[in-house]
Structure 1
Amino acid sequence: MLMLKAAGLAAPSIDHGFFGRPGGVSTGLYAGLNCGPGSGDERASVLENRRRAAEALGGGALVTLYQVHSAEAVSVTAPWDIGNAPHADAMATNVPGIILGILTADCAPVLLADSEARVIGAAHAGWKGAIGGVTDSVIAAMEKLGAARARITAAIGPCIAQQSYEVDGAFRERFLASAAGNDTYFIPSHREGHYRFALEDYVAARLAKAGIASVEKLSTDTYAADDLYFSFRRATHRGEADYGRDLSAIHLKP
């Protein structure tokens, strides 16, 4: 099983992992540890993959959201069934035994913790959520549970890298209009009128601007690592009908 760790999130009361494809039971397009119930994979395979991931984090109730590329964050007080997941893209909890999980296939997963206050958070930062402020929302949700942003550490897991993320001029203009200095996250592409967008760097900058203690980037390209990570853009370029989802999760130990 592939499970990357971020040094900044290490704490006796907290465990976490950025999982990749290896180690699961799914087959075909979803081969490996596909943890996404929104995919067309067999539900039994998805459930077994999620069980394995939760077990790797010491056991607990894994919860994931019905992600909609928003800036909405929710507080988690008790686990829910997969079919009853809130429509949101970030969450926070101070309840031991709950594992917060984010599902991605190129978007940036963000895990956060204030180990002193025993508050954790997780966010799904695609470009829409990132520019909309999903990282600000999850920090605010953590603060409501007793966290202090000056103590919060964050890590950004595997996501699409700048060299793999070509966008058009209209996409770039949205970012240039939203804040001064956003041109920093774009470089020209080989196609006229197109650019390459640094999603990970943009998300990291938003977190740093919010005043949290530290931000760690894993700088792992999901698009380029076919055997290690799922990728929506890679599946689209290949004309594949569907794709699996990687899990990033953080656990507040009992």
Structure 2
Amino acid sequence: MPVEVIRSRLLEGVPHGFLGRRGGVSTGICAGLNVGLGSDDDRDAIRTNRRLAVDAVAPGARLVTVHQVHSPTVIAVTDPFPDDARPQADAMVTDRPGLALGILTADCTPILFADREAGVIGAAHSGWKGAIGGVAEATVAAMERLGGERGRIVAAVGPTIARKSYEVDEGFFRGFLEADPENERFFSGGRAGHHQFDLEAYVVFRLAAAGLRQIEALGLDTYSDADRFFSYRRATHRGEADYGRQISLIALPG
């Protein structure tokens, strides 16, 4: 099975792709295109999957990933990091051709950014902690430091857990309301003492609030499509011992 590459119309002309689990060589619980170094999957399979992913999106590019920790930290990158020395961060920006910025997710939200005119790209990992902590805004600001302009930056929001699949408790709900009472609109009722959270819509809101005028959300639910995507929450609900991670990639042409 070939690697499935999901693309955004807003990023047309920029090498990019949101990848799921289709097309990889891993077997067992992590079957498919698992790229997660934090999983217990075979290391040779993970390395092969990473090569397959880059080849499907930006052949010849060098992959750059970080140690994601659900923070708003952004790093400007000029070269890849060794696997065992990746800095802790949740977003990257660059103006260097030949680098493929890679964000790993398994329900959290991947965001890919580009300012074509400035030749600046970005990629962010936005779970709920990163979203409320400002990782999207921090990525835009870091792109501006490289010459980007937020009025030109476009952003694509990739596969993430959907509202129907994302049950949260009352404490989670109250935390978002304390941050901003208007956040209530991103929640709907659920079973007693619980709510359904729309992470994708919240991420889009934060991007728009940062001044971006062109944003595309793909509306793909990682939890409910087990054949296509890895999902931490689904693996937890099934009592599985491990879970795979998918990758989202963006690179500058040539």
Question: Which residue pairs with 1:93 in the alignment?
Answer: 94
**Equivalent position of 1:176 in the other structure:** 177
User: By how many angstroms is 1:2 displaced?
Assistant: 1.3
CA contact (8 A) 2:108 2:126 kept: yes
CA displacement, residues 30-60 of structure 1 (integer Å, 9 cap, x when unaligned): 1000011111111100000000111112221
In 2, are the aligned partners of 1:63 and 1:82 still within 8 Å (CA)? no
Instruction: Give the distance between the partners of 1:253 and 1:98, measured in 2 at CA.
Output: 9
Match of 1:10 among 9, 12, 21: 12
Q: CA RMSD in A?
A: 0.7
Residue 118 of structure 1 and its aligned partner are, at CA, apart by 0.6
Name the residue aligned to 2:61.
60
Q: Distance in 2 between matches of 1:193 and 1:23?
A: 40
Mapped to 2, the partners of 1:98 and 1:185 lie a distance apart of: 35
Q: Number of paired residues? A: 251
How far off its partner does 1:253 sit? 1.9
**SS of equivalent to 1:181:** helix
**Residue matched to 1:27:** 27
Report the Cα distance in structure 1 between the residues aligned to 2:252 and 2:239, rounded to whole angstroms: 40
Contact 1:71 1:133 in 2 (8 A): yes
Letter in 1 for 2:119: R
Render the CA deviation track for 1:131-172: whole Å, top value 9, x for unaligned: 000001111111110100000000000000000000001001
Distance in 1, Cα, partners of 2:43 & 2:214: 37
> Secondary structure, in 3 states, of the residue corresponding to 1:240?
coil
Question: Runs (4+) of structure 1 moved beyond 4 Å?
Answer: none
Is 1:125 the equivalent of 2:130? no
Is 1:143 matched with 2:162? no
CA offsets, 1:59-106, max 9 Å, x none? 210111100000100100111111111100001000000000000000
Give the Cα–Cα distance (whole angstroms) in 2 for the partners of residues 56 and 227 of structure 1. 19
Match of 2:228 in 1: 228
Within 2, Cα distance between the matches of 1:110 and 1:216?
A: 10
Other-structure match for 2:189? 188
Query: What is the alpha-carbon distance in structure 2 between the residues aligned to residue 23 and residue 127 of structure 1?
Result: 29
- In the alignment, what sits opposite 1:237? 237
In the alignment, is the contact (CA less than 8 A) between 2:77 and 2:92 conserved in 1? Answer: yes
Asked whether the 8 Å contact 2:25–2:32 carries over to 1, the reply is: yes
TM-score normalised according to structure 2 size: 0.97
Counterpart residue identity of residue 3, structure 1: V
Structure 1 unmatched runs, 5+: none
State the 1:242 CA deviation: 0.8
Gaps of 5+ in 2: none
Task: Give 1:213 shift.
Answer: 2.8
Using the size of structure 1 for normalisation, the TM-score is: 0.97
Equivalent position amino acid for 1:148 in 2:
E
The amino acid of 1:9's aligned partner reads L
